[in-house]
């Protein structure tokens, strides 16, 4: 089994890369998706978040009000750290469970947005970084996701810098261009991953 860490800044296009890798045969473990699952209504994770942040972070239906929580934690590093202390161990445990279910020949891709920030690179056999310029990231967040420019800039500022991400990368995918320019690059990376996975199982 080859364990790959996939990361990139917000708006860099990591989701498009992970979709392509899955279409080629990768087993995807999506940290963001798991992070949502571990704080669903009725989970110990949600109970812990409410205890730390108060019931005002819930919707009327009793689910987590993500925009409200986001507006609190992205403006306050201490509150963000408090949230991460609750959620990260739960995400780690679930990720390990899913990885354990993968086969010995599989390429397991862990999609981890904050891989650089949390110094997680040593957990993986190699790290793939999806890279885009800050200008491209900002444009995508505002134009495609409908974020206010101030919110987009705040979210980008809360993450590692482009240089910090590239410093931990074993392979870099440049995603400044259109989707059709992305596919051949991801295919090339996939070929490299499957080659390394085959070597691991020899």
Every domain of the chain and the residues it spans? 1-26+106-202, 32-104
pLDDT of residue 50: 96
- Check if CATH label 3.40.50.300 holds for domain 1-26+106-202: yes
Angstrom distance (rounded) from CA 44 to CA 24: 35
CATH class entry, domain 32-104 = alpha beta
Angstrom distance (rounded) from CA 179 to CA 172: 16
pLDDT of residue 159: 92
pLDDT of residue 161: 94
DSSP-derived 3-state class of residue 135: helix
pLDDT of residue 185: 96
Task: Look up the pTM and report it.
Answer: 0.83
Domains 1-26+106-202 and 32-104 share a fold: yes
Residues 6 or more apart whose Cβ sits within 8 Å of residue 106: 1, 2, 26, 27, 197
Q: What angle do CA 33, 35, 119 make, to 5 degrees?
A: 105
pLDDT of residue 174: 94
């Amino acid at each position: 089994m080859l364990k790959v860490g996939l990361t990139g800044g917000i708006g860099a296009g990591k989701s498009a890369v992970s979709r392509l890798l899955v279409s080629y045969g990768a087993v995807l473990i999506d940290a963001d998706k798991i992070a949502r699952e571990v704080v669903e209504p009725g989970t110990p994770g949600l109970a812990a978040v409410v205890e730390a942040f108060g019931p005002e972070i819930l919707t009327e239906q009793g689910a987590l009000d993500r925009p409200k929580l986001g507006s609190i934690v992205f403006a306050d590093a201490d509150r963000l750290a408090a949230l991460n202390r609750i959620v990260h161990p739960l995400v780690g445990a679930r990720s390990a469970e899913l990885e354990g279910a993968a086969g010995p020949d599989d390429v397991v891709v862990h999609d981890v947005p904050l891989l650089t920030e949390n110094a997680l690179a040593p957990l993986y056999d190699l790290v793939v970084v999806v890279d885009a310029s800050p200008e491209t990231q900002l444009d995508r967040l505002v134009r495609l996701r409908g974020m206010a420019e101030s919110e987009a800039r705040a979210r980008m500022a809360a993450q590692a810098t482009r240089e910090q991400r590239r410093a931990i990368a074993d392979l870099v995918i440049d995603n400044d261009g259109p989707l059709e320019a992305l596919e051949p690059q991801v295919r090339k990376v996939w070929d490299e991953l499957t080659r390394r996975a085959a070597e691991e199982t020899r």
